[in-house]
Amino acid sequence: MMRILIADDFPLFRRGVKDLLADGLGTVTFGECDNAHDLLEHVRSKKWDLVILDITMPGTSGTEALKQLKAERPRLPVIVLSMYPEDQYAVRMFKAGADAYLTKVSAPEELVLAIKKVCAGGQYVSQSLGEKLVDMLRPGSEGPLHEILSDREYEVMRFLASGKTVSEIAEIMHLGVTTVSTYRARILEKLHIKNNAELMHYAVQQGIT
């Protein structure tokens, strides 16, 4: 019997995933959690065949949660199931240890296929993401400037681009205001822009939401 842990802070979404996978995979035992702390406690206390992880959860970013999980259970397959488009987060999540990245609007059949592949020891890349990766690896191709940002810097950049203040970001990310201000300064320097207005314009141009 397959044992799957679903880590997402929306109960209705977790229920939907369970119903979908029960139909597509047959008999499955599920576990649920809605924050990064409980995710790690579940992984430490029980044996799982697979983790389905959302990027945005209380406690820390999905990238940090994934890195911690993989540090403790490097062979545990993890599928990231996110509301964010592949071109915004997929490469970062694969670098952090993900075995597959799917958006929440992906077809149910694709999630079942991804689960079967990663549980067999492979990695799953959608056709659209595979094409984007090929383009990125072509000789002479250069990625956008924000790809040089660290994971934390990228998170802060997204919040700034959405109009949140440094204080609001500090509260959301559980960081000090000074720390967030430092991240902001690094972001502006790396992206060669001067202020939040230019940052918002850059985010719109790059399709970052």
Q: pLDDT tens for residues 130-163?
A: 766 666 556 555 567 787 888 888 889 989 999 9
**Residue 121 and residue 54 in one domain:** yes
pLDDT digits (tens, 9 = 90+) for 88-101: 788 888 988 999 99
Query: Phi/psi at 20 (nearest 5 deg)?
Result: -60, -45
- 114 lies in the same domain as 35: yes
Domain that includes residue 172, residue range: 145-206
Domain of 90, CATH number, reads 3.40.50.2300
**Amino acid, single-letter form, for residue 167:** S
Residues 6+ apart with CB under 8 A from 149: 157, 187, 190, 191
Q: Please state the domain count of the chain.
A: 2
Q: Please tell me whether residues 40 and 75 are part of one structural domain.
A: yes
Tokens 């681009």 locate to 161
152 with 112, same domain: the answer is no
Helix H or strand E encompassing 86: helix 86-96
Q: Do 187 and 121 belong together in one domain?
A: no
Q: Are residues 100 and 150 located together in one domain of the fold?
A: no
Reply yes or no on whether the pLDDT at 22 is more than 60: yes
Domain end position, chosen among 107, 136, 165:
136
| % of the chain at pLDDT higher than 70 | 93
